[in-house]
Amino acid sequence: MSDTIFIKGLLIHARHGLLEHEAEVGQRFVIDLELCIDLAESSRTDKLADTVSYSDVVASAIAAFKGRNYYLLERAAGAVAEAILSAFERISTVKVTVHKPHAPIPAIFDDVGVIITRSRS
């Protein structure tokens, strides 16, 4: 299947990281989602019931990402992927990219983050 729903540039303030100030103050993260889903039916019927609500997917992603403070971006991204696959059975695979533009790295950089892809077993 080659159908994809994407959501890019979701801005979320959260308190993830290993350093104390990251947990206290938090920072901005940017999330991109790619959802593999069969859109054949919804492309014919024009009915929301035959696809997934983008709004519901975003709400699920935000709740999972902000649900607790994680030390690692890897775990935060994993929580988002797990939540989406759990809540939306039509989605077969989810790709989650988490950008941490203000990561405490002693260097000048454009972007840093993780990309994980999870599929149903």
As a whole number of angstroms, the distance between CA 34 and CA 17 comes to: 24
Torsion of CA 114, 69, 27, 62, to 10 degrees: 70
**pLDDT averaged over 10-residue windows placed end to end, the chain, 121 residues:** 92 91 90 98 96 98 95 97 98 98 92 96 76
- Could you please report the per-residue DSSP string of 51-116? S--HHHHHHHHHHHHHSS--S-HHHHHHHHHHHHHHH-TTEEEEEEEEE-TT---SS--S--EEEE
**8 A C-beta contact, residue 97 and residue 115:** yes
As a whole number of angstroms, the distance between CA 75 and CA 83 comes to: 12
As a whole number of angstroms, the distance between CA 65 and CA 75 comes to: 9
pLDDT reported for residue 1:
58
Tokens of 93: 């695979």
Number of domains in the chain: 1
| Domain enclosing residue 42, as ranges | 4-119
- What is the CATH number for 110? 3.30.1130.10
pLDDT reported for residue 20:
87
pLDDT reported for residue 3:
96
Catalytic residues: 100
